[in-house]
Chain A
């Protein structure tokens, strides 16, 4: 009778224990799930904060960083950092124990929760262990982890917004962007821009100087540049086009043997002067008073033409006896030659520019925008560049090997003087004026005496001369008078 009455109670008690264990397990798993969510949020906010901090630190150095747009830097850091932090701060078993210990402390459970959490997975539980589970379940009934352990905002959470705003402000102000405004155009487009700039300058010069070939080439260059800008063609293709243009230029600027102009050796400035003088001469000749009936140039006209120095030089080279017709034809011919030479030089300049552009395209040091804009003003020769001097301009004859100066011919038996070559560094010398030989240069005797006195003074200022003798020596040199030496 008594056993029968106790059985339902025991079963009820058993069911009660099972349900309490389940309740406790659910409460604890809810708590741990909430803690995991909090952890993930913390990691996320940390990653955000560190990404923004990193982006802020890197902002001024963006020019030197790999080719990533400044706007993407926080995202890139975020993507790099998040796997590391999420792995490093992943949820471990000790974290669960920590969370439960915190629960025990918060609810003053005297480590019942953490003990029950360890007991729960055991299949066989002793009486005291079951009692711990029961007590923990009772205490944790109705546990609201989200209320009990509200999410605490850390300094990282608070700093995200200000950091983001600060970064946006700096980004907007363009901190760290390149000088050209950050428009990092592709290399081909940049080269095409340079080429177009140059071609326009070239056309201006050609039009001004009346250089037909250069004008034609300038237009062609502009067309190629425009194509490069609009089509954004590949590096290789653009370089091929440049090479083709360079070849074409090379072919255009080579004069035939018959076309060898007489102004080949002249400098740019001389050619310009000559061109201007030719223009002036033509105007003079075309003027009503410029010609007489007999076709000979009158004396006045010749005098006026002789005032033009470059032209006079050409006349001198051509020879005497010019009448008006021969002068005109000479001037026409000369004008044609000068224009042709100037054209040739402009084309050479264009070819050199193209060569340089192609080198730039291969990753060498490129011209800056300022250099492109001021193309007319050539830089002084620098390391690795050849100077645009007369010596390396195209000449009439093939050049000789430089560096080793050939020795002059020495006639046998005759005294010879070899002029030394002054190299780099300073030099020291003392000029002595010796007594001239008969029939040659003579130096005035006063000058020789003055020179002696200077040397004597210099020696007297040293310690080589005894102090007691200095006065005597000085007096001697002062007493020397011109003409005394002859006596």
Chain B
């Protein structure tokens, strides 16, 4: 049993690190505080994120800055229809060894980095997408019958453009489910836009400082899983996930919108995601336990891509976020 003082130090340390990280990122990124928090939570939970937003909102900048600040290696893959799996994973090339013999040498692909930005992932063919998604799931790639472990920590941040759907290959539901979070980038407001103009047209700011190293991140990953979760709070998360199913029991409080518009509800991965993210949020808040509020905040990023809506929802412009918001209102914290 660890002394209470040590645990308190750990909590305070995690909170301090995160506050510093936010402050440092705020030097180069305007707004998106919520997004940054959610990205960091996904990182310390060991999850991958699907970012959705129109071009030019700073997706690449955020990811690259995060990599810099955490002293993690970063690579970017621009997905195009002609991109091949080998372009991602790497390939064996024929080279000469020092003795002059011809040998196959494995050239690592861009996936061999701590943070991989898969830009416009829906533009590549499903075959290429699968290569990346397999790497995400297994944290390893197999080329020429040889297994190659990926970096640890390893995080994929895939982006999708919601407006240009022509010539794209939307990700299958089973693959979308493998993303820990689906994060939405919103257009900046007036003040934020003015600050962006100032930052980008002025002399470049000083380079970002390293806040957390790889070991620190891995340590935090362990701490996250140790955060206590009351059965009552866990039950709330379970009831929320159950309520996303159209045919769930009425006792779970499934709202009318779910009954009407949801074709399939969240998978158990959704519940894992909600609980783990809530634990990470509690840790970053310097709190020793998970609260109902943590669960509530983490529901939308964890479940929005896991609800499969029907055509009626598309026709009426009902999104997953609206259904989840309704669900949060309907399902009571304590039954």
A239 at interface by CB-CB < 8 Å:
no
B19 at interface by CB-CB < 8 Å:
no
Question: Max chain A CB contacts within 10 Å: which of B11, B227, B289, B333?
Answer: B289
Cross-chain contact A97 with B334 (CB below 8 angstroms): yes
C-alpha gap A97/B4 in the complex (Å)? 25
Task: Name A residues whose Cβ lies closer than 8 Å to a Cβ of B.
Answer: 10, 13, 17, 94, 97-98, 100-101, 104, 110-112, 114-115, 117-119, 124-132, 134-135
Cross-chain contact A118 with B288 (CB below 8 angstroms): no
Cross-chain contact A111 with B233 (CB below 8 angstroms): yes
Taking A101-B334, A127-B2 as given, write out 5 further A-B residue pairs in contact, using a Cβ cutoff of 8 Å, ordered by the A residue number. A94-B334, A97-B232, A101-B232, A110-B289, A134-B4
Could you tell me the distance in whole angstroms from the C-beta of A280 to the nearest C-beta in chain B?
98
Cross-chain contact B3 with A127 (CB below 8 angstroms): yes
Provide the main secondary structure of the chain A interface.
Answer: helix
Which residues of the partner chain A approach B210 to less than 8 Å between Cβ atoms? none
Cross-chain contact B4 with A115 (CB below 8 angstroms): no
Which residues of the partner chain A approach B233 to less than 8 Å between Cβ atoms? 111, 114-115
Which residues of the partner chain A approach B232 to less than 8 Å between Cβ atoms? 97, 100-101, 111, 114, 118
Contact of A119 among B8, B227, B228, B335 (CB under 8 A): B228
Cross-chain contact A98 with B4 (CB below 8 angstroms): no
| A-B contacts, 26 listed (Cβ < 8 Å) | A13-B4, A13-B5, A94-B335, A97-B231, A97-B334, A101-B232, A101-B333, A101-B334, A110-B287, A110-B293, A111-B233, A111-B292, A112-B289, A114-B230, A115-B229, A124-B1, A127-B6, A128-B7, A128-B227, A128-B289, A130-B7, A131-B4, A131-B8, A132-B228, A132-B288, A134-B4
C-alpha gap A97/B335 in the complex (Å)? 10
- Chain B residues 284-331 with CB under 8 Å of chain A are 287-293
Residue of A with least CB distance to B223: A128
C-alpha gap A98/B335 in the complex (Å)? 8
Provide the main secondary structure of the chain B interface.
Answer: loop
Interface string of B63-80 (1 = CB under 8 A from A): 000000000000000000
Residue of A with least CB distance to B282: A110
Which residues of the partner chain A approach B231 to less than 8 Å between Cβ atoms? 97, 118
B134 at interface by CB-CB < 8 Å:
no
Could you tell me the distance in whole angstroms from the C-beta of B289 to the nearest C-beta in chain A?
4
B96 at interface by CB-CB < 8 Å:
no
B226 at interface by CB-CB < 8 Å:
yes
Given A110-B291, A128-B288, the answer on whether A115 and B230 have CB atoms closer than 8 Å is yes
Residue of A with least CB distance to B2: A127
Which residues of the partner chain A approach B3 to less than 8 Å between Cβ atoms? 10, 13, 127
Given A129-B228, A132-B228, the answer on whether A111 and B1 have CB atoms closer than 8 Å is no
C-alpha gap A97/B235 in the complex (Å)? 11
Given A101-B232, A101-B333, A128-B7, the answer on whether A115 and B2 have CB atoms closer than 8 Å is no
Could you tell me the distance in whole angstroms from the C-beta of B13 to the nearest C-beta in chain A?
13
Contact of A17 among B4, B228, B287, B292 (CB under 8 A): B4
What are the 7 A-B residue pairs with the smallest beta carbon separation, nearest first? Answer: A127-B2, A110-B291, A115-B230, A131-B7, A115-B289, A111-B291, A127-B7
Residue of B with least CB distance to A110: B291
